[in-house]
Amino acid sequence: MLLRLSQLLVFGSLASLTCAIVPVTTSENGIQQVIKRVNKNTGSSLYPRATETRDLRTLDGIWNFRRSPPNPLFGYLNGWQEQDLYKTGPVIPMPVPSSFNDVGVDASLRDHLGVVWYDRRFFVPRGWADNQRIWLRFSSVHYNAKVFINGEEVVSHEIGHLPFEVEVTDCVSFNTSNLLTVVIDNTLTRNTIPQENGFDFFNYAGIHRPVYLYSTPQVYVEDIITQTDVQGYTGLVTYNVSYKGGRSDVDCLVELFDKNESKVGSLQACTGVLDIANANLWWPYLMHSNPGYLYTFKVSLIGSDGGLLDTYSEKIGIRVLNWTTKSVYLNGRPLYLRGFGMHEDSDLRGKGWDPVLWVKNFNLIKWVGANAFRTSHYPYAEEIYQMADEEGIMIIGECPSVNAFLYTEELLKKHKQSLTEMIRRDRNHPSVIMWSVANEPQQCGSNKNCDPYYSQIVSHVKDLDRSRAVTFALSDPHDTIGKFMDVISFNRYNGWYAEIGSLAHITQRVKNESTQWHLRYNKPVLMSEYGADTIAGMHNQPEFVFSEDYQVALMSEHFRAFDTLRHEGFFMGEFIWNFADFATKQGLTRVGGNKKGIFTRQRQPKAGAHHLRARYLALAAADAGAPPPPPQHYVADNRPAFHDEL
């Protein structure tokens, strides 16, 4: 067995990986102790779809699961990857997708830090053996993953929240079942993204999003990049299609279809510009009578004989973003963002993808009258962005850098990689209007490494995508890195972490700080977090901390400031923290998690939700030049009572 492990370490191979055995250090997690890899082809940009030339299977369901003993090498040394897990010891059933933490009944599983093992068996359809490539794709595994098929390592990936895939054509059998084993380590260190630094949300782990097995032809569409613009009534779609497969006699047929499936443009070229006359533009919710309008962008690879080699389609929206020192504009109109910070978080599933939950979330977002949210503090599931595209909800896409405090070269490399993978995955979504490169970086007023670090981070993003503004959520009052950003977002908890229980100074403090950031950096400003922990059902009159009444009163003091700032010309949005209550690690200040949500974790409204709804709908009407909406429930007609006997 030791010989077998040494062969794994030295000869485990993937075309896109370079392997080297390295010494164990305190900054490495358990998987990294086994082998250190430089991944040259991480991420996956195209969402897996079945088409005329592609087939698709999901590997979601009940998998086998086991925690590793404290020695992270134990499973490898005992050949767990070479046979079904149940043959080497006890296993428990584990749903995929989900976090593993809340599925069991013991605290040791909930709080586990270290290595865990998953496995299951699967079949490959025999029809896929006919000149097809076979791909295995994980939409998200947190945090560090190694994947084996039939005992052979096929791919590894670091950084949760983002997809990765590998071609497995030569690794699978068509005549019998195949064993799929996944080893995960959720240990965070000073050189992971995020770092282990006490961030205020639970470190859920596991196979969080769908797992797909899919086929493509030998010559296949590898990537699609689109950017859109608007000139008068004409929409412009600039695109680049890349394909692989070792053939040069390939043409690209690109077609664009409207919502009625009518073709509105086409070109026979792998790069080009489609001109769409009288284009239906993508607009946000409550900013237009027809929000979220999407076209279907279809690519077909055609061989020299005229035969269809591969085809792939995705939805795009035609819109243009611009920004100045005072605002961000969409299709020539200034944006005012009414939104939330959020989390991928729910009972039992943890951070596991749940379509029921997210359909409910979007219904509530629209019910409140919001038009935006920030993916605090990591990229969310791809299906969420697809829903946002359809619903006309804008997204500030945030990478997984949270409360960074040490700015090393290794951290910089991983930070850049997380941005590369996120932007490559999400760049074609019209809902994504900004990139957020960090949340509350620490010591940026004092650490000399902070400025050059974030200068390189922002330059990296601009190299990848210049069509969107760049921001970050700051909290350090001595911040110096805002000069690199296009929009200044700031988090501040007046009346909570500062002067808790006092409402007297909130309005003036918010006005002063917003103005100071604009004067310092000459950039648009939005407030990306404010709020107060609130226990659902707790009421106090006069208002008292943790009561629903205090949350409402605190919100109102912020609203006063926002209304003044809206007329100053540089303030562009308000994001309450948080959309819903969410889990955190245990602590004296967290009774059952973070309770700053305007909805409970079960998505039931607190008084603050109704209060925010009245404001957001009024703002939407005001910005559209419409009268304010009536109350949700009838109250009175405001006329005096009638008496005719006199």
Cβ atoms of 285 and 325 closer than 8 Å:
no
What distance in Å separates the CA atoms of residue 78 and residue 92, rounded to the nearest whole number? 19
What distance in Å separates the CA atoms of residue 42 and residue 46, rounded to the nearest whole number? 13
- What residues are paired with 506 via a beta bridge? none
What distance in Å separates the CA atoms of residue 579 and residue 609, rounded to the nearest whole number? 9
What distance in Å separates the CA atoms of residue 575 and residue 394, rounded to the nearest whole number? 12
What distance in Å separates the CA atoms of residue 100 and residue 610, rounded to the nearest whole number? 34
Give the residue numbers annotated as catalytic, written as ranges. 440
What distance in Å separates the CA atoms of residue 454 and residue 483, rounded to the nearest whole number? 10
CA quadruple 530, 536, 538, 541: dihedral sign? positive
Q: CA-CA distances (angstroms) from residue 189 to 67, 143, 184, 196, 584?
A: 20, 11, 15, 5, 18
What distance in Å separates the CA atoms of residue 529 and residue 340, rounded to the nearest whole number? 8
Where are the strands (E) in 517-622, listed by range? Answer: 525-529, 571-576
What distance in Å separates the CA atoms of residue 555 and residue 543, rounded to the nearest whole number? 12
Q: Which residues contact 631 (CB under 8 A, 6 or more apart)?
A: 614
Buried (b) or exposed (e) across 590-602, using 16+ Cβ within 10 A?
Answer: eeebbbbbbbbbe
Q: In what order do the strands lie in the sheet with 333-334?
A: 321-323, 328-330, 333-334
